[in-house]
Amino acid sequence: MAKEIIRQLKLYLEFLQEMGVEYLPRTQSREKPRPPATAHQQRVEKKPPPSRAELTAPSPQANPQLEAVRAEMGDCKRCPLWKERKTLVFGEGNPWARLMFVGEAPGREEDLQGRPFVGQAGKLLDQFLQTIGLSREDVYIANILKCRPPGNRTPQPHEIEQCFPFLLKQIQAIKPRIICCLGGVAAQSLVRQRVAITRLRGQFIPWRWGIELFLTFHPAYLLRNPGQKKNAMQDFLKVKEKLEGLG
């Protein structure tokens, strides 16, 4: 475990260095003496551990509307992609997230695990999130398509047409304030017209339901074009600033 933590820390520091971060601020803190416990605190500290029923109770984070969308999809066979998929990749994360990420389609690892962005591109996305103080548990991640296209090819229009209504229902259930479109397919599907990521990336676009779209590079593109990572980092910092402005 310790070796894995050191390895992950080393990778993260290398990532920061690649993004142009030259130093990390050093903070010093002194632990303040704990004041004497009040009578109320003493009663709380003596409270018995939660029962098995309490531990297995439904999470207050549950979003029934989002769960209903998943149930509606079922074992989807609305387009031919179901014939070759291993797993339907619905999405994951905070079901009440203010920030939602939408990518293109599941890849090989996503198809095997049933989770979005868990391959190399997903690891890069995790690093960007960590840099702006977020994690997967803070955001919601989904794709335009829920099934992997053969050979990771670009989604075809009729495939998008079958999946897109479910993405809209996911968005309506989650009610994010910002949707970050990762790559051209996600951006074009949500904007409903051809857009050039290289021209519109880093911009907020008013959309529907009071939501703003934000366009940036797909992490898979950044793996092939590492020179663009600094620009992508600037995009994520803009998203962080926007979220902080929302309060």
In which band, very low, low, confident or very high, does the pLDDT at 45 lie, cut at 50, 70 and 90? very low
Contact assessment for residue 84 and residue 150, using Cβ atoms and an 8 Å cutoff: yes
Closest to 162 (Cα-Cα) out of 138, 184, 139, 146 = 146
Q: What is the distance between the alpha carbons of residues 222 and 234, in angstroms, rounded to a whole number?
A: 13
Given this model, what pLDDT does residue 2 score? 59
First-last CA distance in the chain: 37
Query: In the chain, where are the structural domains located?
Result: 87-247
pTM for this entry: 0.78
pLDDT at 41 over 60: no
Q: Which homologous superfamily is 87-247 in? A: Uracil-DNA glycosylase-like domain (3.40.470.10)
pLDDT of res. 247: 76
Count Cβ atoms below 10 Å from residue 2 Cβ, excluding itself. Answer: 6
> pLDDT digit string (tens) for 171-230?
999 999 999 999 999 999 999 888 888 888 999 999 999 999 999 999 999 999 999 999
Token readout for 117 is: 């962005």
Whole-number Å distance between alpha carbons of 14 and 11 = 5
| Count of Cβ atoms closer than 10 Å to residue 177 Cβ | 14
Confidence at residue 19, expressed as pLDDT on a 0 to 100 scale: 53
